[in-house]
Amino acid sequence: MVQIKPIKITDLQDCIKVINESFATVAREFNLTEQNCPRHPSFMKVDTLRKRFADGYQMYGLYEQEKLVGYVSISIDENNAAELHNLAVLPGYRHKGYGKRLLDYCEKRAKEMRCYKIKIEIIEENKKLKDWYLKNGYIHLFAKKFDHLPFTVGFMEKYM
């Protein structure tokens, strides 16, 4: 049985493990280290999640047989646009449609909150991920290189 449930503050330690392990595959693929990209989700600490929880980020976990295997959060900006954060599925649970289920769930939640669009930032060079978002109805707006990051950031969005 697979279900998506809101995350409670007591779940954050499990969430950080899912985020770190899931994004570690991306860090390896793009040679990201704690030195050259300390804010990458593969190196995130639970304190960051606690702060986001306190700031009102809506966090959701995807559970398979009561085991947390996926995570995502959304925040709402001052213009009432939703922003997707840290969509993650553990490597051993990928290719089962869980990422799509989390994405669809967040889009549904954003619509319920009367958000007019949902935004995401990705590693522009991650063609596979970019193509996945394009396939799911997102449009690519632009890419920007930041001096402090070892990759280019791609900005995408989908209107509700």
∠ CA(49), CA(157), CA(147), 5° rounding?
65
Taking only the tens place, the pLDDT of each residue in 37-95 is 999 999 999 999 999 999 999 999 999 999 999 999 999 999 999 999 999 999 999 99
SS3 132: helix
| Residue partners of 9: CB distance under 8 A and separation at least 6 | 50, 53
* Rounded Cα distance, 158 and 51, in Å: 27
Task: Please name each of the domains of the chain with its CATH number.
Answer: 2-119 (3.40.630.30)
Question: Which residues, in sequence order, are bridge partners of residue 70?
Answer: 62, 89
Taking only the tens place, the pLDDT of each residue in 113-129 is 999 999 999 999 999 99
pTM check: above 0.75: yes
